[in-house]
Amino acid sequence: MFRLHTYWRSSSAYRVRIALNLKALDYESVATHLAAGEQNSEQYLATHAQGLVPALEHDGTVLVQSLAIIGYLDRLVPEPPLYPADLVGRARVEAMCHALACDIQPLNNLRVLQYLKGELGQDADAVKAWYGHWIHQGFRALETWASEHSAQGRFVYGDAVTAADCCLVPQVYNARRFDVPLDGYPVLRSIDEHLRTLPAFVAAAPENQPDAGPA
Amino acid sequence: MFRLHTYWRSSSAYRVRIALNLKALDYESVATHLAAGEQNSEQYLATHAQGLVPALEHDGTVLVQSLAIIGYLDRLVPEPPLYPADLVGRARVEAMCHALACDIQPLNNLRVLQYLKGELGQDADAVKAWYGHWIHQGFRALETWASEHSAQGRFVYGDAVTAADCCLVPQVYNARRFDVPLDGYPVLRSIDEHLRTLPAFVAAAPENQPDAGPA
The interface residues of chain B toward chain A in range 58-117, judged by CB-CB distance below 8 A, are: 61, 63-69, 71-72, 75-76, 87-88, 90-92, 94-95, 97-99, 101-103, 105-107, 111-112, 115-116
A58-95, pLDDT tens digit by residue? 999 999 999 999 999 999 999 999 999 999 999 999 99
**Using the beta-carbon criterion (under 8 Å), do A106 and B106 form an inter-chain contact?**
yes
Q: What chain B residue is nearest to A60 in terms of C-alpha separation?
A: B88
What's the rounded mean pLDDT across residues A108-118?
96
Fold of A87-200: Glutathione S-transferase Yfyf (Class Pi); Chain A, domain 2 (1.20.1050)
Does residue A42 come out as left (phi exceeding 0), alpha (psi in the -120 to 50 range) or beta? alpha
**Using the beta-carbon criterion (under 8 Å), do B99 and A50 form an inter-chain contact?**
yes
Give the model's confidence band at A173: pLDDT under 50 very low, under 70 low, under 90 confident, else very high.
very high
Strand order in the sheet with A61-64: A28-31, A2-6, A55-58, A61-64
Residuewise pLDDT in 10s, chain B (215 residues): 999 999 999 999 999 999 999 999 999 999 999 888 899 999 999 999 999 999 999 999 999 999 999 999 999 999 999 999 999 999 999 999 999 999 999 999 999 999 999 999 999 999 999 999 999 999 999 999 999 999 999 999 999 999 999 999 999 999 999 999 999 999 999 999 999 999 999 999 999 999 999 87
Cα of A112 to nearest chain B Cα, Å: 9
3-state secondary structure chain A: CEEEEECCCCHHHHHHHHHHHHCCCCCEEEECCCCCCHHHCHHHHHHCCCCCCCEEEECCEEEECHHHHHHHHHHHCCCCCCCCCCHHHHHHHHHHHHHHHCCCHHHHCHHHHHHHHCCCCCCHHHHHHHHHHHHHHHHHHHHHHHHHHECCCCCCCECCCCHHHHHHHHHHHHHHHCCCCCCCCHHHHHHHHHHCCCHHHHHHCHHHCCCCCCC
pLDDT at res. B215:
73
Cα of B195 to nearest chain A Cα, Å: 24
pLDDT at res. A215:
73
pLDDT at res. A214:
86
ipTM entry:
0.97
How high is the mean pLDDT of chain A? 96
**Using the beta-carbon criterion (under 8 Å), do A102 and B98 form an inter-chain contact?**
yes
Residue A108 has pLDDT above 90, yes or no: yes
Under 8 Å between Cβ of B158 and B84: yes
Fold of B2-80: Glutaredoxin (3.40.30)
Which carries the bigger pLDDT value, residue B54 or residue A35? B54
Q: Does A120 touch chain B (CB under 8 A)?
A: yes
A181-213, pLDDT tens digit by residue? 999 999 999 999 999 999 999 999 999 999 999
Residue ranges per structural domain of chain B: 2-80, 87-200
pLDDT at res. A6:
97
pLDDT at res. B134:
97
Buried b (16+ CB within 10 A) or exposed e, A141-174: bbbebbeebbeebbbbbbeebbbbbbbbbbbbbb
pLDDT at res. A24:
98
Which residues from A are below 8 Å from B66, CB to CB? 98
Which residues from A are below 8 Å from B72, CB to CB? 87-88, 90-91
**Using the beta-carbon criterion (under 8 Å), do A120 and B130 form an inter-chain contact?**
yes
Which carries the bigger pLDDT value, residue A37 or residue A184? A184
pLDDT at res. A126:
97
pLDDT at res. B35:
82
The interface residues of chain A toward chain B in range 136-165, judged by CB-CB distance below 8 A, are: 137-138, 140-141, 144-145
Closest Cα to residue A83, out of A67, A65, A64, A60?
A67
**Using the beta-carbon criterion (under 8 Å), do B92 and A63 form an inter-chain contact?**
yes
Q: What chain B residue is nearest to A123 in terms of C-alpha separation?
A: B120
Which residues from A are below 8 Å from B115, CB to CB? 130, 133
pLDDT at res. B123:
97
For testing the chain B interface, which of A94, A109, A127 should be mutated: the one with the most B CBs within 10 Å?
A94
